[in-house]
Amino acid sequence: MRPDWSTTAAVLSSKESSARSSSSSSATFHGLIVTRLNDFYFQFQRIAANYNQGVKVVNAHFSNVSIPHQIAALEQRTRELKALSLDILNLAKCATEWLRI
Protein backbone atom coordinates (compact mmCIF):
# COMPACT_ATOMS: atom_id res chain seq x y z
CA MET A 1 0.00 0.00 0.00
CA ARG A 2 1.41 3.35 -1.02
CA PRO A 3 1.62 5.89 1.81
CA ASP A 4 -0.30 9.14 1.43
CA TRP A 5 2.41 11.73 2.05
CA SER A 6 0.07 14.73 2.27
CA THR A 7 -1.96 13.06 5.02
CA THR A 8 1.20 11.89 6.76
CA ALA A 9 2.66 15.41 6.69
CA ALA A 10 -0.58 16.86 8.09
CA VAL A 11 -0.66 14.28 10.88
CA LEU A 12 2.98 14.81 11.70
CA SER A 13 2.68 18.61 11.76
CA SER A 14 -0.39 18.47 14.01
CA LYS A 15 1.40 16.01 16.29
CA GLU A 16 4.47 18.23 16.32
CA SER A 17 2.52 21.30 17.44
CA SER A 18 0.81 19.36 20.22
CA ALA A 19 4.11 17.70 21.15
CA ARG A 20 5.67 21.04 21.89
CA SER A 21 3.09 21.66 24.61
CA SER A 22 4.11 18.76 26.84
CA SER A 23 7.08 16.48 27.22
CA SER A 24 5.01 13.28 27.60
CA SER A 25 3.37 13.81 24.24
CA SER A 26 6.83 14.47 22.79
CA ALA A 27 7.84 10.89 23.56
CA THR A 28 4.63 9.67 21.93
CA PHE A 29 5.33 11.81 18.87
CA HIS A 30 8.85 10.41 18.51
CA GLY A 31 7.50 6.89 18.99
CA LEU A 32 5.00 7.58 16.19
CA ILE A 33 7.77 8.76 13.87
CA VAL A 34 9.89 5.69 14.61
CA THR A 35 6.91 3.41 14.02
CA ARG A 36 6.09 5.06 10.69
CA LEU A 37 9.71 4.93 9.57
CA ASN A 38 9.87 1.23 10.46
CA ASP A 39 6.66 0.59 8.50
CA PHE A 40 8.08 2.47 5.52
CA TYR A 41 11.33 0.48 5.71
CA PHE A 42 9.46 -2.84 5.76
CA GLN A 43 7.32 -1.74 2.79
CA PHE A 44 10.52 -0.91 0.91
CA GLN A 45 11.94 -4.34 1.76
CA ARG A 46 8.79 -6.05 0.42
CA ILE A 47 9.02 -4.04 -2.82
CA ALA A 48 12.67 -5.01 -3.22
CA ALA A 49 11.88 -8.68 -2.61
CA ASN A 50 9.06 -8.58 -5.20
CA TYR A 51 11.40 -6.92 -7.68
CA ASN A 52 14.04 -9.61 -7.17
CA GLN A 53 11.46 -12.34 -7.67
CA GLY A 54 10.29 -10.66 -10.87
CA VAL A 55 13.84 -10.43 -12.20
CA LYS A 56 14.43 -14.12 -11.47
CA VAL A 57 11.25 -15.11 -13.34
CA VAL A 58 12.09 -12.93 -16.35
CA ASN A 59 15.63 -14.33 -16.50
CA ALA A 60 14.31 -17.89 -16.21
CA HIS A 61 11.72 -17.60 -19.00
CA PHE A 62 13.29 -15.04 -21.34
CA SER A 63 16.93 -15.96 -21.78
CA ASN A 64 19.07 -14.90 -24.74
CA VAL A 65 18.68 -18.41 -26.16
CA SER A 66 14.89 -18.66 -25.90
CA ILE A 67 14.00 -15.15 -27.13
CA PRO A 68 14.86 -15.79 -30.83
CA HIS A 69 12.79 -19.01 -30.76
CA GLN A 70 9.86 -17.21 -29.19
CA ILE A 71 10.07 -14.39 -31.76
CA ALA A 72 10.17 -16.91 -34.59
CA ALA A 73 7.09 -18.66 -33.19
CA LEU A 74 5.33 -15.29 -32.86
CA GLU A 75 6.16 -14.42 -36.47
CA GLN A 76 4.76 -17.77 -37.64
CA ARG A 77 1.53 -17.26 -35.68
CA THR A 78 1.26 -13.73 -37.13
CA ARG A 79 1.54 -15.13 -40.67
CA GLU A 80 -1.16 -17.70 -39.85
CA LEU A 81 -3.46 -15.00 -38.48
CA LYS A 82 -2.92 -12.84 -41.57
CA ALA A 83 -3.81 -15.76 -43.86
CA LEU A 84 -6.90 -16.49 -41.76
CA SER A 85 -8.02 -12.85 -41.91
CA LEU A 86 -7.64 -12.89 -45.72
CA ASP A 87 -9.74 -16.08 -45.86
CA ILE A 88 -12.42 -14.39 -43.76
CA LEU A 89 -12.44 -11.37 -46.08
CA ASN A 90 -12.79 -13.65 -49.13
CA LEU A 91 -15.65 -15.54 -47.45
CA ALA A 92 -17.37 -12.23 -46.65
CA LYS A 93 -17.05 -11.15 -50.30
CA CYS A 94 -18.42 -14.48 -51.49
CA ALA A 95 -21.30 -14.25 -49.04
CA THR A 96 -22.22 -10.73 -50.18
CA GLU A 97 -22.17 -11.88 -53.81
CA TRP A 98 -24.14 -14.98 -53.02
CA LEU A 99 -26.71 -13.15 -50.93
CA ARG A 100 -26.51 -10.03 -53.15
CA ILE A 101 -26.38 -7.68 -50.21
Structural domain boundaries enclosing 81: 67-101
Is the same domain home to 57 and 85?
no
Is the same domain home to 48 and 7?
yes
Is the same domain home to 19 and 54?
yes
Is the same domain home to 42 and 72?
no
Q: Are 33 and 16 in contact (CB under 8 A)?
A: no
Q: With cut-offs at 50, 70 and 90, classify the pLDDT of residue 19.
A: very low
Q: Which amino acid is at 47?
A: I
pLDDT given at position 65: 80
pLDDT given at position 85: 92
Burial group, residue 89, by CB count within 10 angstroms (0-12, 13-18, 19+): exposed
Say whether pLDDT at 78 is over 90. yes
Listed range (13-17, 31-35, 39-43, 71-75) with the worst mean pLDDT = 13-17
Nearest to 1 by CA among 38, 68, 37, 46: 46
Which pTM was predicted? 0.41
